[in-house]
Every structure is written in structure tokens, then in C-alpha cells.
Amino acid sequence: MTDGHERYLQEVLISEERLRQRIAELGKEITTDYQGCPGLVLVCVLKGGILFLADLMRHIQVPHGIDFLAVSSYGVGARQSQGEVRIMMDLSSQISGQHVLIIEDIIDSGHTLRYVMEVLQARRPASLKLCALLNKVSRRRVNIQVDYTGFEIEDRFVFGYGLDLDERYRNLPFVGVADLSQSGDA
């Protein structure tokens, strides 16, 4: 039985195996950088970052907590940010004095992440860094420092491994390029 993603899949951009390898490498880098650092909190930006967080945190070998933040700037069916960023769900814990690492699925223009970082920085964490699975540098409109990058990708619409195509196919174990000519009724 198939879930129907095949008709929208132009190509597999990043395989399941390559994702596993790179996430393990990121976990080691983060472990090294935060060794001996008390109060690390991984803040996952929902919904897309959830699979990345779940796999990444298994490779981070320093004590850490997790929290979640949901923001919206796209809307169902939108292929580009609509500009206005809204917090749909805020953190459940205080981050003042904590070392915070934002876990994001993809950075495009940077507008959403700049807003998120400004909101979190105002809460006075001990440090604030960013880890993104995918980074579309060519689409950047605002300056964002990405401290940990899984993969830099070209300006292509991708889905799978947490990234959706009209709120579907987040469960795919790979990152694929969408054939947008087929996605009108996804």
C-alpha cells in the first residue's frame, strides 16, 4: 500500500541514510560544544522540526531539556511566507539563564527565525544558538547566523522528514523535491 506521495515526488534530495549520518555528526558537534554546560534546552519549532529533534536529541550526549514553540507565517497551501509571523504556541518553561538551542527544519528567507530569535533573546537566555536541518542560503532576506547546519540546499520546494506538502507527507523518511505541478490537490 502506498501513501500517495509518489505522484508529487520529483526526486529524493536527501536519503534516509544520509539524514541519519549527518544528524549523528551534528549531535557529536553539539555534544562537544556544550560539554560541561549546565541548563541546555532544545527548543523545537513545530511542526516541521519534530522528527529532526527526536533523532538529533538521541545523539546529544549532554544533559538537556526540550520545549516547543509553534509559529505561523505560511498557512495551508502557501508556498512562500506570508510575511506576518505569529506565535501559535509558546514555550512551557522559562529560559532565562539557560543555554538555548533552537531546532528548526528549514530556514528560507530568515524572517520567521529572526522573529523567533528576537522573542527568545528578550527572555535573557545564557546563550541562544540555531540548528537547522536545511538551509536555503540563496533565499535569505535577513541576516541569520546558523550555528549548526545539516544541509545547504538550493531553492527548491522540499517535503518529507517533517516538512509537509499541504500538511501531508511529514512521515517520509527522506527529504524529497516536490513536483509542484502535481500538488494543487495534495
The residues with which 177 forms a beta bridge, in sequence order, are: 11, 158
Q: Copy the grid coordinates of residue 172.
A: 517520509
Please, what is the angle between helix 50-57 and helix 16-33, to 10°?
Answer: 60
Q: Give which of 103, 106, 105 is closest to 117, Cα–Cα.
A: 103
Report how far apart the first and last C-alpha atoms of the chain are (Å, whole number).
18
108, 164, 166, 185: which is the annotated catalytic residue? 108
Closest CA to 25 of 61, 66, 59: 59
Q: Is 179 a catalytic residue?
A: no
Alpha-carbon span 20 to 174, nearest angstrom: 10
Of the candidates 133, 167, 141, the residue with the CA atom closest to the CA atom of residue 56: 133
**Residues belonging to the chain:** 186
Name the H helices within the chain: 16-33, 50-57, 111-121
Catalytic positions are 108
